[in-house]
Homo-oligomer: A and B are copies of this chain.
Amino acid sequence: MTKTYCTTESNMWISPHTGLVTSLPPAPRSSFASDNVAGAHPLVFEAMLAANAGHFPAYGADPITQRTETSFRELFDEDVVTQFAYGGTGANVFALASMLRPADAIVCTSHSHINVDETGAPERVLGTKLITVPTRDAKLRPSDIEQVSSMFGNQHAPQPGIVAITQVTELGTVYSPDEIRAICEAAHAVGMFVYLDGARIANATASLGGTRAALRSFTRDAGVDVMTFGCTKAGGVFGEAVVFFNKSFTNRSIYVRKQTTQLHSKMRFIAAQYEAMLKDDLFITLGGRANAAAMKLFNSLHDIESLKLATAPDANSMFPIISKPEREILQSWAHFYDWDTSINQVRWMTAWDVETAEIEAFAAGVREVLD
């Protein structure tokens, strides 16, 4: 990768358009590469510190974990079972392993995190094929379930057993409650179950109304069987929660959790983070902040036609188009990821702690290069 246009030290660069040497404004202190570049919210840390005092039983038998399980039941207004895990990939694998029957396959979009971002962990740990459905917007549809139904009864094909969707999707779109309900109905009608990867559940909840009722509308009420409730991206240090609405899958789940390496000994430190996140709906507040930051960035830049930012972001990311010379200048100045180089697509994503001044600084640099 030649970077002849860019001298990062001095922010001097030669415009690929004009050939003139010019300078970029100071880079933002925030990163727009991902939401996992941010640290944890102070209240999360405070809760962990409070949990540090004294001796407590390990592996979830401590009072903080037990209190937090109750908090989840209140959050969903239902007798859900909540079991904590270490991270996103692990929580996905643990949850899916609890749900799978012999020879089941998992239906998901080709964009799904379990398909493209987990180094084959599902295939390795689950021993299961992912049946991937191509989509434009990373949203699965009931018709996709209908289509894979042709595999039922064919002994040469694994049997579609679980529909796995992601909310917020990997392309930053958000399923409506009706869309998820339709998927659940289509899946249940043919004997399949629905798993929701909620690594960005905070952003989705904020996007769909910002209330507990909103959260329930696209999970419990829509018919989701099992979901993860992400903490790390929302403003945590580590840890994910698996929430079982369909409790038939909890018969073996505590064993499956350990077997898939997801049982933390000092569980209180995960539970404490969730206690802080659920208190006064902090997770919704933080998800909303990340979303608002993305909207501000969109508003600052969507007039630049070459970016092709047609629609406002549903949550905390957008996927603009930037030509190679221009994106290389910008990535050297303030790193962000290529998404689909075949169409010059990149990803911008905002974390819970991004401030307006940083958004403005980032937008100014982008405008400087692209305008």
Of B55, B158, B232, B252, the contact of A102 (CB 8 Å cutoff): B252
CB distance from A230 to the nearest CB of B (A): 11
Surface stretch bound by B, among A173-181, A260-268, A288-296: A260-268
Surface stretch bound by B, among A33-41, A297-305, A323-331: A33-41
Q: Which residues of B contact A158 (CB under 8 A)?
A: 119-120, 255, 259
Surface stretch bound by B, among A93-101, A138-146, A278-286: A93-101
A: interface residue count bin: 35 or more
Instruction: Kindly state the separation between the CA atoms of A52 and B57 in the bound complex, as whole angstroms.
Output: 27
- Cβ-defined contact, B155 with A260, below 8 A: no
CB distance from A155 to the nearest CB of B (A): 4
Instruction: Kindly state the separation between the CA atoms of A127 and B128 in the bound complex, as whole angstroms.
Output: 8
Q: Does A53 contact B (CB under 8 A)?
A: yes
Instruction: Kindly state the separation between the CA atoms of A125 and B39 in the bound complex, as whole angstroms.
Output: 31
CB-CB nearest in chain B for A90: B261
Q: Does A254 contact B (CB under 8 A)?
A: yes
- Cβ-defined contact, A262 with B259, below 8 A: no
Q: Mark A320-350, 1 if CB is under 8 A from B, else 0.
A: 0000000000000001000001000000000
Copy count, this protein chain: 4
Q: Mark A184-213, 1 if CB is under 8 A from B, else 0.
A: 000000000000000000000000000000
CB distance from A320 to the nearest CB of B (A): 20
Of B93, B237, B258, the contact of A155 (CB 8 Å cutoff): B258
Q: Which residues of B contact A76 (CB under 8 A)?
A: none
- Cβ-defined contact, A89 with B119, below 8 A: no
A129-145 CB contacts (< 8 Å) to partner B? 129
Instruction: Kindly state the separation between the CA atoms of A259 and B124 in the bound complex, as whole angstroms.
Output: 7
CB distance from A252 to the nearest CB of B (A): 4
Q: Given A102-B255, A258-B89: A55 and B31 within 8 A (CB)?
A: yes
- Cβ-defined contact, A238 with B255, below 8 A: no
Q: Does A30 contact B (CB under 8 A)?
A: yes
Q: Does A157 contact B (CB under 8 A)?
A: yes
Q: Does A49 contact B (CB under 8 A)?
A: yes
Grouping DSSP codes into helix (H, G, I), strand (E, B) and loop, the A interface class, with mixed when no group exceeds half, is loop
Q: Does A357 contact B (CB under 8 A)?
A: no
Q: Does A86 contact B (CB under 8 A)?
A: yes
Instruction: Kindly state the separation between the CA atoms of A35 and B48 in the bound complex, as whole angstroms.
Output: 19
Q: Does A165 contact B (CB under 8 A)?
A: no
- Cβ-defined contact, A116 with B157, below 8 A: yes
Of B45, B89, B104, B150, the contact of A263 (CB 8 Å cutoff): B89
CB-CB nearest in chain B for A40: B52
CB distance from A121 to the nearest CB of B (A): 5
A52-101 CB contacts (< 8 Å) to partner B? 52-59, 86-90, 93, 97-98, 100-101
Instruction: Kindly state the separation between the CA atoms of A268 and B150 in the bound complex, as whole angstroms.
Output: 27
Q: Does A51 contact B (CB under 8 A)?
A: yes
Q: What are 28 residue pairs bridging A and B, where the CB atoms are less than 8 Å apart in the complex? A: A37-B57, A38-B55, A39-B55, A45-B48, A45-B49, A55-B351, A86-B261, A87-B261, A89-B261, A90-B90, A100-B102, A101-B251, A119-B158, A120-B129, A121-B258, A123-B123, A123-B128, A123-B129, A124-B259, A124-B260, A125-B259, A125-B260, A155-B257, A159-B252, A233-B265, A237-B269, A238-B264, A260-B261
List of 5 A-B pairs having minimum Cβ-Cβ separation, nearest first:
A103-B255, A90-B261, A120-B129, A39-B52, A120-B158
